[in-house]
Chain A
Amino acid sequence: MASEELRLVTAAQRGDVESFNALVRLYEGRVYNLCYRMLGDADGAADATQDSFLAAFRNLRVFRGGSFRSWLFRIATNACYDVLRARKRRPAMSLDATIAAAEEDAAPLQIADSGESPDEYALRRELAHAIERGLVELPEDQRLVVILCDLQGLAYDEIAEVTGANLGTVKSRLSRGRARLRDILRQGELLPQRFRHEGGLEG
C-alpha cells in the first residue's frame, strides 16, 4: 500500500494528473472529515478540502518523501486555520450558528441492526450531537489533536508531525480536549449509565 502510494506520488510529481487523482480518491474522505470536524459546516469543509488538494498539487514538487498522509493533513490543517482566522476577522458565523449548522449537516444515524430500541437510538443520536457540539466548542489546538487521534486514528508521533508540536504538547492537548468533552457529556448526562457516579458509589 505504501509502495503504491509512493509510486502515485512520484508519478504525480512528474506531472501525471491521473496519479494525483488516485491520491485524491484515496484521501478525500479523510481530508473532508478532518475539515468538517475542524470547521463545523459542510460548505466550509468542502471548500477547505478543495483548497487543500489544490495546494498539495501545486506544491507537490517540494514534498521530499516521508508520509504523504501527514503532509496532506498538514496542508488541510493549515487550510482550516486560514478559514478559522478569516472567520475571526469577519465573524459572519457565530459559534451558535456553527453548532446549528454542524447539527444540520450531520449524517443521519441509522438504527443499529442488533435490535436497538428507539430509546437507545435516541440516546446514541443525542450523544453524537453532544460530541459534535463539544468538538466545535473546544479550543482549536485541542480540537485538532482530538480529531486526528480519535476520529482519524493517527498515532501520537504522526499527530506531532501534522501539527508541528512535540509529543508532550500532543499528549497534553489530547488529554485536555478529551476531559472537556467528558465534562460536556457529564453535564448532559450522556455518559453511559454505568459511568455516572453517584455519591453512594463512593467507597
Chain B
Amino acid sequence: MATQLPQLNDHDLELLSSYIDGQLGADERREIERRLRDDAALRRAYDELRATVQALRDLEPLRPPRSFTFDPAVVAPPQPAARLGWGRLLQVAGVFAAILIAAIGTLSVLGSLGAGAPQMAAAPTVPAVAPMVAAAPTVAPAATMAPLSARENAPAPAAGAPAITSDQAAGAPALESAPEASPLATPAAAAAAEPAPEAAPAQTVATPAISSPGTTDLVPPTPAPESPAPAAAGPDVLLILMIAVVVVLAGGGVWLWRRSRSAQ
C-alpha cells in the first residue's frame, strides 16, 4: 500500500501555516478555505501540519532547575540612565582639552622651528619626559651655581661631575658645533617642544627646591643658563595649557573610575 505524501509549494505551505495561527487576512482566509473544501490533498497537508503544531504545543514545559534571582546584598544596582552629569561633562571636557593641548603643542613646535638653530640646540637641556624635573637642571646653575653659568666654563665642571653629568655634558658641544649637532638635536627639540612652555613657570616655583644640597650635587653645569622657552609660550598660553592638563587628568580619572565601577 503506497503512501502518498502531500507535497506543497512554499507559498501554500506558508498559507496553511498562517491559517493555523489565524494570521491570514479575510480574503486570503476565504480563498484557502475554499481550496481546502475542493482540494483533498491540500486538506490532508493541512491536517498533518495542524497535528504537528498540536504536538509541539502539547510539549510540557520544563521546570527550571533553580531560581535565577539575585541576592541584593551581592549585586550592585544597575547604573542609572545616562545623563549629562559632572562626570560625563568632565570626560567631554577632557577630550576637548586634549585637542587644545595638541594644537598649542603643534603651534609651539612650529614657533620654535621658526626661531632658528640656537634655540633648537638649547632644547635638549630640557628632557622631554618629565617637564617639572626638567626644570631643575635648567634653573639650578642660575640659582645655585652662578659662577659656572658662563658658557666658556661649561667643559671644566662637566669633567668632575657625577655619571649623570657626562650624558648632559655630551649635549653641550651642540652649542658650539651647531652644524653637526642639528640633525641629532632636531627630534629632541621637537619632543621637548611640548613640555618646554611648562619649564618657564617651573623656574619660579621650583627654585627653592632645587637649591637643596642633594639636587645641587647632581646638577650638571648646563651650558645654557638662559631659559630656552620659546617666545610663543606667553603667560596666557601657559595658563590655558595648565588648565587643559588638569581637565584632561580629571576627565581621565572619571573615565577610569566609571570603568572600574562597571567592571564590578
Q: Point out residues on A near B: beta carbons under 8 Å.
A: 12-18, 20-21, 24-25, 28-29, 31-33, 36, 42, 46, 49-50, 53, 57-61, 105-107, 109, 124, 127-128, 131-132, 146, 149-151, 156, 171-172, 174-176, 178-179, 181-182, 185-186, 190-192, 194-203
Partner of A28, one of B4, B47, B68, B81: B68
Asked whether any CB of chain A lies closer than 8 Å to the CB of B116, the reply is no
Q: Which of A28, A57, A131, A192 contacts B75 (CB 8 A)?
A: A57
Given contacts A174-B17, A202-B41, contact A24 B59 (CB under 8 A): no
In whole angstroms, what is the CA distance A175 to B62 when docked? 25
Whether A199 touches B70, Cβ cut-off 8 Å, given contacts A29-B63, A33-B62, A191-B48, is no
Knowing A53-B68, A171-B14, A178-B53 are in contact, say whether A61-B79 is a contact too (CB < 8 A).
yes
User: What are the residues of chain B within 8 A of A185 when measuring CB–CB?
Assistant: 51-52, 55
Cβ of B69 < 8 Å from any Cβ of A?
A: yes
CB of A178 within 8 A of CB of B52, answer yes
B1-43 contact mask (Cβ, 8 Å, vs A): 1 or 0:
1111110101001101110010100000000000000001100
Q: Mark B40-77, 1 if CB is under 8 A from A, else 0.
A: 11001001110111011111111111111110100101
Among A21, A24, A42, A132, point to the contact of B65 (Cβ < 8 A). A42
Q: B146 — which chain A residues lie within 8 A by C-beta?
A: none
| B21 CB, min distance to chain A CBs, angstroms | 7
Whole-angstrom CA separation of A4 from B100 in the bound complex = 51
List, sorted by A's number, 10 A–B pairs whose CB atoms are closer than 8 Å.
A18-B72, A24-B68, A32-B64, A32-B68, A131-B56, A156-B21, A179-B13, A181-B52, A198-B4, A202-B40
Nearest B residue (CB) for A21: B69
A contacts with B: majority SS:
helix
With known contacts A49-B64, A107-B60, A181-B56, A175–B48 Cβ distance under 8 A: no
Instruction: Report yes or no: A146 in contact with B13, Cβ–Cβ below 8 A.
Output: no
Which residue of the partner chain, among A33, A42, A60, A195, contacts B51 with CB atoms under 8 Å?
Answer: A195
A46, B10: Cβ atoms closer than 8 Å: no
One of B63, B65, B70 near A20 (C-beta < 8 A) = B70
Contacts of B156 in A (CB 8 A): none
In the bound complex, CA of A14 to CA of B48 (Å):
50
